[in-house]
Chains A and B, each alone.
Chain A
Amino acid sequence: MYFGLSEEQTFFQDNVKKFLVDQAPLDVIRQITAEKNTSIQEEIRQGLTNLGLNALLIPEDYGGLGLDLLFAAAVSEGLGSGVAPIAFTGSYVMAPLAIMHGGSDVQKENYLTKISSNTVKFGVGLSEYIGAREDAELIINGNKVNGKALFVIDADDASHFILSDDQGTIFIVDADDSGLEIIELTSVDKTRSYVEILLNNVTAEILDNTVKNNNAIEKTIDAGRIMLAADSVGAAQVMIDKSVEYAKERKQFGRVIGSFQAVKHMCAEMTAELEPCYAIVWHAAHCFDYIPEEARLLACQSKSHISEVTKMVAKKATEVHGGMGFTDLLGLHYWFKRIGMNRQLLGSPELVRDEAGKIQGF
């Protein structure tokens, strides 16, 4: 029995973290978020692709690394810790899983190999299935789709999109389809953003096994939620580490602020609440692949619970830094906002808990 990340998983995660520390320090993040699609961003994307992020979950038969979701969770934690300004959850976790679970053999062969070879890149929009805002909806008619999709993630330089209607039927559209219009949305988290997509008689390739079966979309969303939860854990840990470090240096009243109990207790509370979050998100990722009967509840509960804890951490860590925490200069807000966006993506805590209730038949 062993509960935790394996040596290889830790090693891979460390590589991701190290890459981000070296190649995407705060001034680079700042630059990228100020001005999209710069060449630096492309270099970072390329570097992470070189590490194999795009092919992580894809079976070896389709040119991938064939790793499990816990591996991806370890990576996601690393990306969150470095507030990585790149696509991952949508493009390289949800998209391949949607195709693996919902696609026909031909579709798998076609798309999975192309994700592995980095010749297609998916943006993902399942918000209309999870909870439509603004009455957004997508209507499938034969192989044509009309309507709009809101909050599509990982859309930067996507060649294709994976979308679904409110019944959970998943389909693929080509980003170059002439009936497709992409509208950028500006979110508070500048490290990742989302778009709105308007579809006017766009040609859709429906994933065969998603028409009357919601297994694929549920798996896809579960995995996405686990990734976001892991991302938030990584981000929150950095906020705590920065707080502790700052508290050991900053002096007031002739002593370091870390010797004031109010500050110490904030640090202890953040740590005490975050520590079990590692365990639940790893557990959820493990069950996703190996213990399916426990997986759905764990996926929902890890997402909603971690959203609550990391929100608290984001607030307290900022407070530990005093006025400095509130500044753009220090940049702590990148982590704050990352956590804030993860919380709402793929269902806010209340929505996800409601789903957890339904899973249990409440």
Chain B
Amino acid sequence: MDLEYGKQYEDYRLEVQEFCKKYKGVQFNDTAKIPLASNNKSGGPVMARSDWQKILIENGYFARSIPKEYGGYGGDSDIIKSRITATEFSNQRIPGPMGGQGIDMLVPTLLELGTEEQKNKFIKPTLHGEMIWCQGYSEPNAGSDLASLQTKGELIDGKWIINGQKIWTSTAQYAQMMFCLVRTEPEASKHAGISYLLVPMDTPGLEIRPLVDMTLQAGFNEVFFTDVTIPGENIVGKRGEGWAVANATLGHERGSLANPNATMNRLNMLINRMKKETIDGKKLIEIPVYRDRLLKIQGKIMAFQSHALRILSSKLNPGQDVKIGKMIQKLVGTELRHELEGLGIDIMGELGTLYEDSPYLRDGGSWQFTYMYYLGLIIGGGTNQIQKNIISERGLGLPREPKVQGV
């Protein structure tokens, strides 16, 4: 065991700390459109979110290993540096880079499987926050069983013509582009008939209807396709290879859904609140029943954080095998965060139910909001029941579900 990163990294840490000092309290004048962006009101520099993104890239704090010609920093991939950056940013409450499905999923996919032309055209504006993407996978009748999707794509005169419907499409209403899965080879078997297409959202025939979720925000949408026509080259991989292309990035999504550092920050917020908040004049942190629940979840969060170090270590040390360790992250991380947010509500009792702009609202209603939001993440990105199937089948080698005849 060696938890030291070494001298060169301590220098790097100082450099990041310097940067954080300079941009302490940075604010954005265009956050309204970005869900869950932090609302920092502490009087730092003001700029557009996409300008911040560029500053981060210039300094190598984001898109570090992505080549310059595609709009990245063009350095070596360095997991330790990325981790130091993330830790310092979160300690100093400096907003990190924009994420989202374009950055987290499409960019890695294109880097791995895209054509040179696609890379040149799409990666830079996506990294710079100028091109927002949405993910068009799920359909009304294809959720967990995604490969049964039916939205149809036909190649006619060198153009794809798409008909059908997607649902639960997060951020479709803000997006310029969609990467989606479409059935293009109806004669092929279920998994072999799918292609991965890139669709501009302003294409005629494409209609977006926002769906309000339980937080009362329109977090996702229905997207209808009526003869939506896009260029033939807007395909990643070959015809019928869409399932493999999509699977290349599902891993990226799952890893990013449950960040242990963010969970630890929320825990610290909860501790601070319990030191201030009182019931019958007594501080919550001093009331044994609440304190025990706090300490119980702290133990889980600490274990999950240590686990993240183990996963990090396996990336730095080829040969260190933590196979099943990675498979559990989405399941454990999302359940843990949901539980933590629920505890935030419980310790506040009736105050914990206040929402939106109510008097006495605590922390902007974020405990309620995030409690519900994480229920969404428990369901999205492959439900946690599906995660358990994956752990038991691929991780533990238990038999797959028997196929039911005639369904």
Contacts and interface: CB of A to CB of B under 8 A. Distances in A.
Contact of B302 (A267, A305, A350): A305
A251 B241 CA distance: 38
Contacts of B298: 301, 356
Contact of B296 (A3, A271, A302, A308): A308
A334 B301 CA distance: 30
Interface in B302-329: 302-304, 306-307, 309-310, 312-314, 316-317, 320, 324-325, 328
Contact of B398 (A248, A279, A305, A353): A248
A179 interface: no
A2 B393 contact: no
Contact of B3 (A259, A291, A297, A305): A291
B295 A304 contact: yes
Contacts of A301: 295, 298-299, 302-303
Interface in A261-288: 261, 263-265, 267-269, 271-273, 275-280, 282-283, 286
B182 to A, nearest CB: 30
B292 interface: yes
A292 interface: no
Interface stretch (B27-35, B38-46, B54-62, B383-391): B383-391
A308 B387 CA distance: 22
Contacts of B6: 1
A278 B392 CA distance: 19
Contact of A275 (B275, B320, B325): B325
Interface string A317-361: 000000000000000000000000000000001100110110000
Contacts of B285: 362
B388 A269 contact: yes
B272 to A, nearest CB: 12
A283 B388 contact: no
Contacts of A290: 3
Contacts of B396: 244, 267-268, 271
A216 interface: no
B291 A286 contact: no
| Chain A interface main SS type | helix
Interface residues of B, number: 53
A305 B295 CA distance: 9
Contacts of A286: 1, 3
B76 to A, nearest CB: 16
Contacts of A291: 3
Contacts of A6: 1
A77 to B, nearest CB: 14
Interface in B266-289: 271, 275, 285-286, 288
Contacts of A2: 1-2, 313, 316-317, 320
Nearest to B325: A275
B69 to A, nearest CB: 31
Nearest to A273: B332
A248 B398 CA distance: 7
Given A286-B3, A305-B300, A247 B316 contact: no
B303 A280 contact: yes
A99 to B, nearest CB: 25
B359 interface: no
Contacts of A278: 307, 310
Contacts of A354: 288, 291-292, 295
B313 A276 contact: no
Contact of B306 (A271, A276, A362): A276
Given A1-B3, A271-B395, A265 B388 contact: yes
10 contacts: A3-B306, A3-B313, A4-B320, A264-B389, A267-B392, A268-B391, A276-B307, A280-B306, A286-B3, A357-B295
Interface of B: 1-6, 80, 271, 275, 285-286, 288, 291-292, 294-296, 298-300, 302-304, 306-307, 309-310, 312-314, 316-317, 320, 324-325, 328, 331-332, 385, 387-389, 391-393, 395-402
Given A259-B401, A267-B391, 4 more contacts: A3-B309, A4-B310, A255-B399, A290-B3
Q: Which 4 A-B pairs have the closest CB atoms?
A: A305-B299, A279-B306, A3-B313, A268-B388
